[in-house]
Amino acid sequence: MSHLPDTSALTASLPPVVLEVGELFDAAGHELSLVGGPVRDLFLGRVSGDLDFTTDADPDRIIAVVKRWADAYWEIGRAFGTIGLRRGGYQIEITTYRAEAYDPESRKPSVAFGTDLEEDLLRRDFTINAMALKLPSLELVDLFGGVRDLHARMLRTPGTPSSSFSDDPLRMMRAARFAAQLGMTVAPEVAQAMTEMAGRISIISAERVRDELVKLISGTSPDAGMDLMVATGLADHVLPEVAALRLETDEHHRHKDVYQHSLTVLRQACELETDDQGAVPGPDVVLRLAALLHDIGKPATRRFEPGGAVTFRHHDAVGAKLATKRLRALRFDNDTVKAVARLVELHMRFYGYGEAGWSDSAVRRYVSDAGPLLERLHRLTRSDVTTRNRRKAERLAFAYDDLESRISVLAEQEELASIRPDLDGEQIMALLGVAPGPVVGRAYRFLLEERMEHGPQERADAETSLRSWWSEQPEFEESTR
């Protein structure tokens, strides 16, 4: 990380719209500064498509200055002093200088407009986000040592941490997110305030907590961010099932607790994501959540067997239910909830293959049960191997290689991704001479089982099997009386 670039270097790296809007406000007699993340990112060598500015102009004056320049603008954040707009491919927010604080019992900030840039920067979350670039002069304003802290990768607050987190408790989760995204370490006083004030996260809406969690889990090192949440007690309020894993010991590796195992699985799952052209492009929130939560059923299922063995029977099924409950409480969408829960439910299925091998029927069922989650399940299962025993790790990897190979071979012969019976509903009704109803559903399930067990059949063979099944049904006997 370099020291402050000179003006020419800054100008070269900034999008032209930054300088354009700076000139507009200067001509209108108002102050304007690029602020927050976009300034921080200049020192990280990247430019965001979302640009944040702060100004002494009130919302009415902001609109007056930009309305003819912007491609479009909107006033959704007007109550908070923010006007949003679009220019070219950039999303821009311009906010009046402000200070805000949370009422101790409120989920929403009460806003008071500030009078100068210094006051505005003081109310921001961390020093690395409390830098501003005045426009159009390109003068850097760094009152709280943001450049120093970026260089040290240290997370500090402009004011006292307790004041910052009292203003907006979500900032505590944001600290964990920056640990995951940027490899930041929190200063001791920040960690202490997070620990002492962790309970205040409960006043934040589930939707805001969810969005921050998604950003954390999507970071380059989500295990580091999650570890900080657990260490400070934030996870006790956001993901208590993960925090509870610290008390358990892993079934197969009793020297390693399930919590550390889960962080390792999360890290390894990230490493198995693919690029934009691959089957599971990263960051994949579903895969990462499943990796983090895959063993949360273990605390409830731990049993001590005679001889000192520890078992966690059915922790996969229990974990799937717990994951569903927690993700719904965090207001995740139904598709994400179902996908994560299904992966948690299936994550132990492979071990039967590794121990005894499977018939083609069992392979078909594995593929069918995973459905569109198969590629994620491949990665989750491989990530779940954290043993330090090299021979065991190699044996499991070889077994899964073999399973994937068999899936590929069967996929070439059959449509494994969309296994269906050899007869459809219309053909079933015509053959049996029945109307739509429960009988058709039972017949369909019977043929699906036949398809799983024996693979694809010729239509004549499928019809013979269905007639044989039908002759044993009570409805058939009634129809022949």
- Distance set, CA 182 to CA 44, 150, 174, 214, 391 (Å): 9, 10, 11, 15, 36
d(CA 131, CA 114): 17
pLDDT at residue 312, as a whole number: 87
Query: Class assignment of domain 7-148?
Result: alpha beta
List of the chain residues with pLDDT < 50: 1-4, 249-255
d(CA 311, CA 294): 16
pLDDT at residue 34, as a whole number: 96
Q: Do domains 7-148 and 153-238 have the same CATH topology?
A: no
Q: Which pair of tokens denotes residue 260?
A: 């550390």
Give residue-wise pLDDT tens across range 189-213.
999 999 999 999 999 999 999 999 9
d(CA 201, CA 213): 12
Give residue-wise pLDDT tens across range 389-427.
788 888 788 888 888 888 887 776 655 555 677 778 888
Cis, bond preceding 136 (omega within 30 deg of 0): yes
H or E stretch at 141: strand 139-141
Name beta bridge partners: 53.
34, 94
Dump the DSSP string for 68-129: TTSSEEE-TTGGGTEEEEEETTEEEEEEE-EEEEE-TT-SSEEEEE-SSHHHHHHTSS-GGG
| CATH of the structural domain 153-238, one choice from 1.10.110.30, 3.20.20.70, 3.40.50.300, 3.40.190.10 | 1.10.110.30
Write down the domain spans for the chain.
7-148, 153-238, 253-416, 423-479
Q: How many CB atoms lie within 10 A of CB 47?
A: 14
User: What's the chain's length in residues?
Assistant: 481
- 343 closest CA partner among 315, 307, 373: 373
pLDDT at residue 388, as a whole number: 80
